Structure 1
Amino acid sequence: MFSCGSGIEPVPEESQRTILSLFKQGEWRKAREAARQAGSRFPERSAEHWRFRALEARALVYARDPESAAALMDRPPPEGPAYCPARAWRAWVIGFARARKAAEGEPARRLLEEARALGASCPEPEAEIEAKLALARIAGQPAEAEALLLSALRQSEENRDEVQRMNTLLNLSALYLRQRRADAGLLAAEQARDLARRLGNPLMEARAAFNLASLHGDLGDTDNAIQVFRDLLPLLRRSSSEDEMLALGQLGLFLSGRGDGGEAVEPLRRALALARQRGHPDEIRRYATNLAIVLLGMGRIDEAAAANSEAERILAQPGGLGGSEYVGINRARIALARGDSRAAEAELRSIAARAGLSARLRWETHFRLAQVLRRERRLAEAFRHYESALALAETTRAAQGREESRISFQNTLLAFYAEYSDALIEAGQEDAAFAVEESSRARLLSDRTGGEVRSNPQRALGILRERARRHNIVFLAYWITPPRRHVRIVSGSGQRRVDLPVDAARLRRMVAEYRRQVELFGDPLAGSERLGRELHRTLIGPVEEEIPRGARVYLVPDGPLHALNFETLVVSRGSPRYWIEEATLAVVPSLTVLTERRSGPGRPGGALVIGDPIPSERGFRRLEHGAAEMRNVARHFHKATILAEEAATPAAFEQVEPRRFRYVHFTAHGKANSESPLDSYVVLSPSGGRGVLRVREIAAKPMEADLVTVSSCRGTGERSYAGEGMIGFAWGFQRAGARAVIAGLWDVNDRSTPAIMDKLYESIAAGHDPAQGLRLAKLAQIRAGGRYAKPFYWGPFQLYTSTF
């Protein structure tokens, strides 16, 4: 006899595996529907029905709808061991939903502790882990939150549960983001992203990328953070209104941080509107506060006051919401803008007196107090608060474990250094302003020197003046900020500041356009080309009379000037000629670093010449003139170690101990990474699956070379960072200890490069130092005429040094 039924019912375990697989992929809507259908096949009081009801509720929570999940689990399951997992999940779901409401913090905690205990006893380890994650979000102390999350991480690893490990890492990265612990946060977010990618979960990958971008943005890498948020918005908008709101809020903050206040207002208004729709007071308070901050930066005081008032109304409600300090700082700034300095000062001193402020809040409070006191002309007090802010900033920077974090963090301090310097100049304290400007530069390069001179600017200036008198040297340090654009010139007669006749935006456009002209094989000496002359008149003209012809110039660029080779500028007076005809140039990261780092010859260990590799990296071919260049270089040394073709591997470079050599020369392609500059690399021959040498690897291995040369690639990097300049191979080798580095601002792969390198080392062999040798090589090419006289061919190569 045959039954006329509808078919074989799926086994509950098979349905559960399907739903958990959908969880792994981030398909929560599909998972919810699958769980609902599976549960409907079983009686309402059965354990199977409650198993799938719990899965349906979890899917709702993961899709950012905990209120619907709590409503679904409102009725408790029956008693008995078979229902223990469902009771654990019910306690978690309702506790999770209540934890989002500040007024229900204690009931939420009790429910989550119940879920944790039930998860451990049932056992239902996933519920136990999820309870720990939720408890961490409402933990009163950061240490308690971290302990809960680390316990959850260990448990997920022991259980080999990759989905829970991904969730826990994501929560850890969010915790570290709130605590401003960028190093730990970046590591957790990177691991969560990589795991989500491996699991095929694009939404969790997007959430991890969101945390990564937020962490990078907090450290000052706003350009990349902004692009990530813009790319993520379409996906996050499909996910939930909460994800969209968070992305809009971060996008607005980082646009503002980059100086694009006008662009920042719209995403912040949209984030605030979504927060109002969702009816979450803490979200309304956060985005109203942030909108007020941006509007204050734009000088739109009345609009800022209205937004801040909305945040104040939320704070006045019962429930103990956080964030009152930033609302108070906004209130002080509004009062100051309206001329009420006394109210502004009182507000800020009240905030400063509170216990438990984060380093960032303490820094901000000191900075804002300094602004108020400066307005009141109480300069001695103002400078004390600027100094307190500076000390806090340095402590925070030094606490960043990874070099990327310390590099990016410096970007966040640009406005502070600019304002502090401006205040000191206004007060006539030029040497102190010089010290502040220098304190913003080359922090990582000076970490290894102790920085004694940095705290004694008078001593530093004394050393520089003595050097200038004895060796026909001129020191130029540029400062390009919104309040001021100037150059400091230090010569044998002293130090003085000269204002530049250009605003920052105009200068940035001029430099970018001139670089474009040069890289398109332009001829700046032609009568129709005026930009090279205009830049010379703007940047060198104001101090030209104090630079003797033939002098050695140590030049500290700033902002857009890192992308400019001053040698290519056309002298604005007399017959058309490049500025290289007038001076021997060396680019330095900071004048005080010159006085801190040791000078003198390195080890007399001959030369290491490495290159002409057989690359395995996609998109790179062998250099057409690489072999000729290496022969030209090696012939100038009695003792040269050559690593070429298959032998030019990263492992071989490390095995020959590069610190033994006085000269190191690379002839290879390079790839600059603007998003992660320490991951820029030189392309070598592969060995053991490794065919590149990264900047972070270079910087980590001590060197004592007098000169490292990186030809044939963009060795300076693609992006400048506040204080450190262009981060690329030149920076990496200086960080490792090389006294001088020659690297390129743009790529040149032509027969002209071997000729320049040949003349460079010929001049060094004849007794010239590297800066003189490079100048002589370039001048020889210019004077030979023809197409190679154009700056495209000789202009990319610059000498970078941090020693005399």
Structure 2
Amino acid sequence: MSQTLTTQKTTIEGREETSFSTLCLLRDDSCLVQSNFCPLPSASCLSEKHLKQIESQKTPFNSVFQGGMESYSEGTVVAWRDAIARWEEALAIARNERDREQEALTLYWLGLVHFNLKELKTSADYYTQVLSIYEENGDLHSQASILNTLAQIHATWGEYQNAFDTYDRALKLWQAAKFRTGEAATLNNIGFVYADLGDFNQALDYYQNAFNLVENLGNPINIAATLNNLGRVYSDSGKGDKALSTYNQALALWREAENVPGEASTLNNIGFIYANRNNWTKAQEYYNQALPLWQQVGDKAGEASTLTNLGVVAANQGNPQNALERYNTALTFRRQVRDRAKEALTLYRIALAQRDLNNLDEAQRQIEAALKIIEDLRGNVARSDLRATFFASKQDYYEFYIDLLMERHKQQPQAGYDRLALQASERTRARTLLEVLREANADIRQGVNPELLAQEQQLQRQLSVMEEQRIKRLSGKSGSASAENLDLEIESAIEQYRQVRAKIRATSPRYAALTQPEPLNVQQIQQQVLDKDTMLLEYFVGEKRSYLWAVTDNELVSYELPGRDEIQSLAKEYRRLLTSPAHRRRIKTVAAAQSKLSNAILKPVADRIQGKRLLIVSHDILQYVPFAALSVSGTTGEEETPPLIVEHEIVSLPSASTLAILRQEQNTRSRATKDLAIFADPVFGSNDDRLSKTEAFEQTLPAELEASARAAGVNLSRLPFTKVEADNISALVSQEQTRGAIGFEANRVLATSQELSQYRMIHFATHGLLNSQNPELSGLVLTLFDSQGQPQNGFLRMHELFNLTLPADLVVLSACETGLGERVRGEGLIGLTRGFMYAGAARVVVSLWNVDDRGTAELMAKFYQQMLQQGLSPSAALRQAQIEMWQTEEWKSPFYWAGFTLQGEWK
């Protein structure tokens, strides 16, 4: 048996959520909106009018339909099949008599019974037919009910954008009718989709809103369903105890209502909590309680979920053969109900078991089948942020695949498995960035519904106005409490903005015609990205083993590196010492930490990189590491060694494929005509003597604004050396070719104007602002007051960058931590770099930490001097400037120069 995998990790997909389906058409709250796990509706769910008609009028339709209801109410699969036969006969009668009301009633129940049998294609067909009837007669409640269930079906099939759009239609109908129970059902289900896509913050918001409604309405079954779903989000947020408490509340309600499917769902989820704690015996106990309950009600999807979880238990107890048997049974059920995401999960589990059994060929076949499904499902998500979170939740699949391929490479070094592993690594990286770069030049708004475009523009204006209001509130008497309320409104507007952009993509003929970019294979990387003087170093940090691929234009060599824990420990310690005021000048202490990290990630390839320009595609914690300051000298002590930058030009890339797309898009863009626009020394707050000279300033209270910025990780102190920086750089360019925006002129209005598109180089010397929860709100801080001392919106947000046209050769973000952002697995750092690349920049210089104001001014002067006077390329100029800083005693510490990296085109 292979010893390379000893445990199988639990994943978020091991749980069951309770999705509301509006099961019957009565206006009674206790019946209309029920969970899929509630007691199945019987004839009592029909309206009183229909009940009386069926009981009193012995018409052919009523007799046949009533027989179907009696069979259905028995609640067994056999009885449901009998109900289907009777209702199909009733449907034929209704259509023959041209009775649309009876036709609608029968279509609804046929859709419901097939839905409960997980025969979703047939169910959707019936529901679509009945929806057209309810649209004809204007029955809003019934339309919303059908749309709610159709959306569930789309979500199960992985048609996520269709699901969102259909839920949105249902939600608006419920709200128009002021029917709170239906609204709660659909809110709950929207949360379900967000959770499936890995956006647990949004899921929590929707579940909480649903819970507030159902708690007020007092329906215990709907309360239990929402508690079940809230438990999942708590579990995924690492709040296991809170999740367990929430699940136990739901379980008590299910049992009190004698609701078997709901009880099974929550028992399964409690088992998952114990599995996450590696308490396999306790987990198995709960799974074994859930399994017969699923079987009792004939729910194959639920049974598949618990079988998969029992397989994980068996694998972790050292019995992969037993695990495999359970997975194979679960796979059959998954395919019966066309649950593509869960099918991929089960295939992944099968691959894990096959590897444990040393069946590597079969393991590879199964994981490749799983990844094909994941790629298909990813393509069904129109929103780029949700594509990123969905893909992040599936990164374990790729990590396993890469590790498996590299294991096979070790056994068969000449078979090309290391090439396949590198190509798999490329598929895990910055995929959304590749896609937005491709769409940037496609004018995807052409041919889109003008109303959608108007909504987008309105939301952009709304966000700008809200930011202006927020700043005025922070600067006024209402202070931070009032601004916090507005923050919630801004988050809501951002969510609406994302949804509208997704609809634009989904309905755009230009977007539909776009060929989505495929990550490059090894040969394409060698031909389209590299030349004879350049080497790609691509890293992948894995749980037990990490990997490095060194690629030139004619060779690929791969290396095995330490696992995630060791690399993260070394990288964090080096970065801590390097950026700490107490340690940064202790050269020997920093050198010792640098040496340990370099030995772990660079020493294996040291003999191959001589004389090469290095393209670094980092991963995980390595995205925060300044490779320019590392060394390949192989020392182990505290002696200082020449940094990597002395011998090598270094460029950072999100992925090798990104550079190929950048080059393609750059070839189609017009060139700027002027040389340099520079923003520097903005006016931020109370410590700025330029404000104290204005009459209105005494009326403002900027301390609140500064406190808010500090809460976001920004100290809005003046950066006086940025004025020196700007003067030194501007002196290198003719006045006619330069636009200097200093002080009050360094404002957002200019930064978002068309004027900026005229310049080849754009330089921002200011503070950066990071927002990891909503990356669209990350940005640069420009002047926050006008020349009269009045507060103004000075934040240039990332969502605004996506609306700019900046065909610049170079954008320099000479600000704090501008190279960072939200780190999303499968995407890397989602920060300002991609915003400027989308706007048209070929390359961006950014910083990895809070840089020193005076040191940065010195570095930037040298950088531009090398470019503009010595004629070096931006990457070569940055290297030379960093070498000069290192050679100067005052600036020798890498803290002052290594934080700046060039991302993008190196030529």
TM over 0.5: yes
Q: Which residue of 1 aligns with 2:873?
A: 769
Partners of 1:249 and 1:426 in 2: CA distance: 40
Partners of 2:557 and 2:814 in 1: CA distance: 36
Q: CA deviation at 1:227?
A: 10
Among candidates 654, 667, 683, match of residue 589 of structure 1: 654
| 2:557 paired with 1:521 | no
Partners of 2:619 and 2:539 in 1: CA distance: 6
For residues 584-623 of structure 1, the C-alpha deviation after alignment (integer angstroms, 9 at most, x for no partner) is: 3221112344456528998363335253456799556685
Q: Which residue of 2 aligns with 1:553?
A: 614
For residues 312-354 of structure 1, the C-alpha deviation after alignment (integer angstroms, 9 at most, x for no partner) is: 2112324657523323433554565667666655655555554
| 2:560 paired with 1:499 | yes
For residues 251-295 of structure 1, the C-alpha deviation after alignment (integer angstroms, 9 at most, x for no partner) is: 654566678989976765665455445532222222233344565
Partners of 2:772 and 2:134 in 1: CA distance: 32
Q: Which residue of 1 aligns with 2:855?
A: 752
Partners of 2:293 and 2:611 in 1: CA distance: 67
Partners of 2:628 and 2:321 in 1: CA distance: 52
Q: Which residue of 1 aligns with 2:780?
A: 682
Q: CA deviation at 1:669?
A: 3.8
When residues 667 and 225 of structure 1 are mapped into structure 2, their CA distance, relative to the original with a 3 A threshold, is: farther
Q: TM-score, normalised by structure 2?
A: 0.63
Work out whether residues 873 and 906 of structure 2, in 8 Å CA contact, stay in contact via their aligned partners in 1. Answer: no
Q: How many residues align?
A: 715
For residues 470-499 of structure 1, the C-alpha deviation after alignment (integer angstroms, 9 at most, x for no partner) is: 21x332222112232232233578333333
DSSP 3-state at the match of 2:649? strand
| 2:198 paired with 1:220 | yes
Partners of 2:136 and 2:896 in 1: CA distance: 59
| 2:715 paired with 1:655 | no
Q: CA deviation at 1:728?
A: 0.8
Partners of 2:831 and 2:875 in 1: CA distance: 20
DSSP 3-state at the match of 1:324? helix
Partners of 2:592 and 2:257 in 1: CA distance: 54
Q: Which amino acid aligns with 1:521?
A: P
Q: Which residue of 2 aligns with 1:36?
A: none
Partners of 2:864 and 2:331 in 1: CA distance: 59
Q: Which residue of 2 aligns with 1:380?
A: 361
Q: CA deviation at 1:792?
A: 4.5
Q: Which residue of 1 aligns with 2:543?
A: 482
Among candidates 737, 761, 764, match of residue 666 of structure 1: 764
DSSP 3-state at the match of 2:833? helix
Q: Which residue of 2 aligns with 1:126?
A: none
Q: Which residue of 2 aligns with 1:18?
A: none
Work out whether residues 547 and 559 of structure 2, in 8 Å CA contact, stay in contact via their aligned partners in 1. Answer: yes
Work out whether residues 220 and 412 of structure 1, in 8 Å CA contact, stay in contact via their aligned partners in 2. Answer: yes
Partners of 2:183 and 2:888 in 1: CA distance: 56
Q: Which amino acid aligns with 1:575?
A: E
Note the 1:708-787 alignment, pairs <5 A: 708-748=811-851, 750-765=853-868, 766-786=870-890
Partners of 1:339 and 1:436 in 2: CA distance: 29
Note the 1:152-167 alignment, pairs <5 A: none
Work out whether residues 172 and 188 of structure 1, in 8 Å CA contact, stay in contact via their aligned partners in 2. Answer: yes
For residues 523-553 of structure 1, the C-alpha deviation after alignment (integer angstroms, 9 at most, x for no partner) is: 3452445773355345445336326567432
Among candidates 549, 568, 586, match of residue 508 of structure 1: 568
State which drifts further: 226-235 or 672-681. Answer: 226-235
Q: Which residue of 2 aligns with 1:439?
A: 427
When residues 750 and 557 of structure 1 are mapped into structure 2, their CA distance, relative to the original with a 3 A threshold, is: same
DSSP 3-state at the match of 2:821? coil
DSSP 3-state at the match of 2:871? coil
Work out whether residues 29 and 181 of structure 2, in 8 Å CA contact, stay in contact via their aligned partners in 1. Answer: no
Q: CA deviation at 1:726?
A: 0.5
Identity of aligned residues (%): 22
Unaligned runs of 5+ in 1: 1-53, 81-94, 114-130
Q: CA deviation at 1:180?
A: 4.8
Q: CA deviation at 1:224?
A: 7.8
More contact order relative to length (CA 8 Å, sep ≥ 6): 2
Structure 1 vs Structure 2 CA RMSD = 5.8
Q: CA deviation at 1:76?
A: 7.3
Note the 1:89-488 alignment, pairs <5 A: 143=124, 180-183=158-161, 215-222=193-200, 249-250=228-229, 253=232, 271-272=250-251, 275-293=254-272, 300-318=279-297, 322-333=301-312, 348-349=327-328, 352=331, 354-427=335-408, 428=410, 429-447=417-435, 454=519, 456-461=521-526, 467=531, 470-471=532-533, 473-488=534-549
Partners of 2:850 and 2:182 in 1: CA distance: 38
Partners of 2:182 and 2:894 in 1: CA distance: 49
Q: CA deviation at 1:795?
A: 4.2
Partners of 2:875 and 2:838 in 1: CA distance: 19
Partners of 2:640 and 2:399 in 1: CA distance: 36
Work out whether residues 158 and 340 of structure 2, in 8 Å CA contact, stay in contact via their aligned partners in 1. Answer: no
When residues 587 and 148 of structure 1 are mapped into structure 2, their CA distance, relative to the original with a 3 A threshold, is: farther
Q: CA deviation at 1:404?
A: 0.6
Q: Which amino acid aligns with 1:422?
A: D
Partners of 2:816 and 2:136 in 1: CA distance: 48
Partners of 1:167 and 1:531 in 2: CA distance: 65
State which drifts further: 555-564 or 377-386. Answer: 377-386
Q: CA deviation at 1:511?
A: 3.6
Among candidates 623, 629, 640, match of residue 576 of structure 1: 640
DSSP 3-state at the match of 1:220? coil
Work out whether residues 672 and 807 of structure 2, in 8 Å CA contact, stay in contact via their aligned partners in 1. Answer: no
Q: Which amino acid aligns with 2:346?
A: T
For residues 418-438 of structure 1, the C-alpha deviation after alignment (integer angstroms, 9 at most, x for no partner) is: 111111112142222222122
When residues 322 and 409 of structure 1 are mapped into structure 2, their CA distance, relative to the original with a 3 A threshold, is: closer
Work out whether residues 182 and 405 of structure 1, in 8 Å CA contact, stay in contact via their aligned partners in 2. Answer: no
Partners of 1:227 and 1:137 in 2: CA distance: 27
When residues 135 and 611 of structure 1 are mapped into structure 2, their CA distance, relative to the original with a 3 A threshold, is: farther
State which drifts further: 141-150 or 636-645. Answer: 141-150
For residues 21-55 of structure 1, the C-alpha deviation after alignment (integer angstroms, 9 at most, x for no partner) is: xxxxxxxxxxxxxxxxxxxxxxxxxxxxxxxxx99
When residues 528 and 365 of structure 1 are mapped into structure 2, their CA distance, relative to the original with a 3 A threshold, is: closer
Partners of 2:799 and 2:273 in 1: CA distance: 36
DSSP 3-state at the match of 1:637? coil
Partners of 2:202 and 2:800 in 1: CA distance: 23
Q: Which amino acid aligns with 1:760?
A: F
When residues 284 and 722 of structure 1 are mapped into structure 2, their CA distance, relative to the original with a 3 A threshold, is: same
Q: CA deviation at 1:761?
A: 1.5
Q: TM-score, normalised by structure 1?
A: 0.70
Q: Which residue of 1 aligns with 2:493?
A: none
Q: Which amino acid aligns with 1:446?
A: L
Q: CA deviation at 1:720?
A: 0.9
Q: Which amino acid aligns with 2:754?
A: Q
Partners of 1:531 and 1:202 in 2: CA distance: 63
When residues 594 and 712 of structure 1 are mapped into structure 2, their CA distance, relative to the original with a 3 A threshold, is: closer
Among candidates 599, 604, 609, match of residue 677 of structure 2: 609
Work out whether residues 288 and 308 of structure 1, in 8 Å CA contact, stay in contact via their aligned partners in 2. Answer: yes
Partners of 1:564 and 1:145 in 2: CA distance: 57
Q: CA deviation at 1:704?
A: 4.1
Q: CA deviation at 1:557?
A: 1.5
DSSP 3-state at the match of 1:523? coil
